[in-house]
Amino acid sequence: MAVDLLLGLQWGDEGKGKIVDVLTSNYNIIARFQGGPNAGHTLVFNGQKHVLHTIPSGIFHDDAVNLVGNGVVIDPVIFKKELDKLAEQGVDYVSKLKISRKAHLILPTHRLLDAASETAKGKAKIGSTLKGIGPTYMDKTGRNGIRVGDLELDDWKIRYRNLANKHEAMIGFHNVEIQYDLDELEAEFFEAIEVLKTIPFIDSEEYIFNALESEKTILAEGAQGSLLDIDFGTYPYVTSSNTTAAGACIGLGVAPGKIGDVFGIFKAYTTRVGSGPFPTELFDKDGETMGRVGHEFGATTGRARRCGWLDLVALKYACQINGVTQLMMMKADVLSGFKRIKVCTAYQYKGETISHLPFNIEEKNVSPVYTELKGWKADLTGMNKAEELPEELNEYIHFLEKELGIPIKIVSVGPDREQTIFR
């Protein structure tokens, strides 16, 4: 058997949680492989909205095992809050959740360091979700981090103290005013650690290897998006993990040859939250309409997302890097009512027209070249069959499939599980 991957192809918020939830019945195991509580995966079913941050999006299904892989960073406090919500909804998570011993822990002082670093950067700030993601991955690569498996060792609290003390000194180094009460934060943290310990900790690479050997089906669930990848994204305005396909191999311990289908999720337009370049960003009524109709506010931070037309140059790049085999287009319903739909098919870059993503896509270097297509009027939100889609939307879909050379297998026309059209 192989591990299928599901990834976001833009700057995150593509709707990955919904599609994982829709596809979960085809899989025995759903595994998160990178990121942490900076993610906000929204699922809607039976008229109720659920937001998950660290827990994989298969948790609401009865049979799937949900694995938090070694590449994920876990904040026990946020994790506990997620578990509390699941318990309120009667979800039996203990039998369905497993955590890799090699996943790293986000400490309260990682969050404080994130805030200090962003404040010190001033206008050049990344626009981080302030969940401590960057500092935790820094400690991982710096070989200072504390892992879930360390919680089983007698001396982990000594190691915790040493690291937290070092972080406090580092916060001072940033020379900015950060208000905090570490005693209070630590009380909450240690309480949450006890709850975390009720979830089985496993050697997840061994678990996955054995699952593949015994013909189990596995879906790896990506977080954030390809353009936020630490290597291939719009650096430095990126997150601190590899959000692209190769990240799943590292973040789960799966050999490259064991990867099967790669499902690439994208919105019918583009959004971005936080700072950084965005060539097709709109500052006009069209952008405002996309934001309003698409409810474009961050699921984790509540921040308004920046909106713009679909950028095919960036999307093609993401498809190449990830080896996407099937595409899934989200939020097609949000574009209903636009007279003309624009798609960026090339960039004007230093006096040339180019169709690849160059090193620097800052506004001063790049301007989008658009192709215009006819829009459609029909409200799509009640549709559930491919035959019902308006002709102009089919033309849009065919245009994208031809440009990208990959089939679009799902068109999503609303947040609910039911509002999903298979092609």
State the number of CA atoms in the 13 A half-sphere of 1 facing the CB. Answer: 17
Selected range binding ligand IMP among 86-94, 99-107, 122-130, 206-214, rule: CB under 6 A? 122-130
Residue from 5, 7, 10, 13 in contact with ligand IMP (CB under 6 A): 13
DSSP 25: G
Q: CB-based contacts of 200: which residues, under 8 Å, 6+ apart?
A: 94, 97, 98, 99
- Which one of 4, 21, 41, 75 is the catalytic residue? 41
Q: Which position among 13, 21, 286, 311 bears the catalytic label?
A: 13
- Residue closer to ligand IMP by CB (options 199, 238) is 238
CA end-to-end span of the chain, whole Å?
25
For ligand IMP, the closer CB: 15 or 287: 15
126 binds ligand IMP (CB under 6 A): yes
Contact mark string toward ligand IMP, 65..94, x via CB under 6 A:
------------------------------
The 364-403 site mask, x for binding ligand IMP (CB under 6 A), equals: ----------------------------------------
Give Cβ neighbours of residue 380 (< 8 Å, ≥ 6 apart).
332, 333, 336, 389, 390, 393, 413, 414
129 part of the interface to ligand IMP, by CB under 6 A? yes
Interface with ligand IMP (CB under 6 A), residue from 109, 128, 226, 234: 128
In the numeric block, the tokens 């929204």 are attached to: 42
Nearer to ligand IMP, 223 or 343 (CB): 223
Q: Is residue 295 annotated as part of the catalytic site, yes or no? A: no
Interface with ligand IMP, residue 291, by CB under 6 A: no
Residue with smallest beta-carbon separation from ligand IMP: 274
| Torsions phi, psi for 26 (to 5 deg) | -85, -5
Query: If binding means CB under 6 A, how many residues of this protein chain bind ligand IMP?
Result: 20
User: Which token pair is 280?
Assistant: 């097709």
Give the nearest distance from C-beta 371 to ligand IMP in angstroms.
27
Question: Is position 127 an interface residue for ligand IMP (rule: CB under 6 A)?
Answer: yes
Distance CA 420, CA 217 (A): 22
In degrees, to the nearest 5, what angle opens at C-alpha 249 toward C-alphas 208 and 198? 45
Decide whether 56 or 134 has the Cβ nearer to ligand IMP: 134
Selected from 6, 29, 113, 133, the binder of ligand IMP by CB under 6 A is 133
Cα dihedral sign, 328-407-263-232: negative
Please report whether residue 135 would count as binding ligand IMP according to CB under 6 A. Answer: no
- Closer Cβ to ligand IMP, 40 or 145, answer by number: 40
Judged by CB under 6 A, does residue 38 bind ligand IMP?
yes
Mark whether 41 is an active-site residue: yes
Q: Please tell me whether residue 224 binds ligand IMP under the rule CB under 6 A.
A: yes
Whole-Å CA distances, 40 to 54, 96, 299, 349: 8, 20, 5, 34
Q: Which is nearer to ligand IMP, 102 or 131 (CB)?
A: 131
**Would you count residue 228 as binding ligand IMP (CB under 6 A)?**
yes
Site string for ligand IMP, 249-288 (x = CB under 6 A): ------------------------xx--------------
DSSP string, 110-155: HHHHHHHHHHHHGGG-----SSSHHHHHHHHHTT---BGGGGGSTT
Q: For strand 104-105 and strand 73-74, is the pairing parallel, antiparallel, or unpaired?
A: parallel
In 214-354, which residue ranges form alpha helices assigned H by DSSP? 245-252, 285-293, 312-322
- SS3 (DSSP) at 393: helix
Residues 6+ away with beta carbon under 8 Å from 255: 249
Minimum distance, C-beta of residue 239 to ligand IMP, in the bound complex (Å): 3
In angstroms, the CA 127 to CA 237 distance is: 8
Distance CA 120, CA 104 (A): 25
Q: Is the CB of 127 or the CB of 260 nearer to ligand IMP? A: 127
The residue (of 27 and 137) whose beta carbon lies closer to ligand IMP is: 137
Task: Extract the tokens encoding 326.
Answer: 């099937």
What residues act catalytically?
Answer: 13, 41
Residues contributing to the site for ligand IMP (CB under 6 A): 11-13, 38-40, 126-129, 131, 133-134, 223-224, 228, 237, 239, 273-274
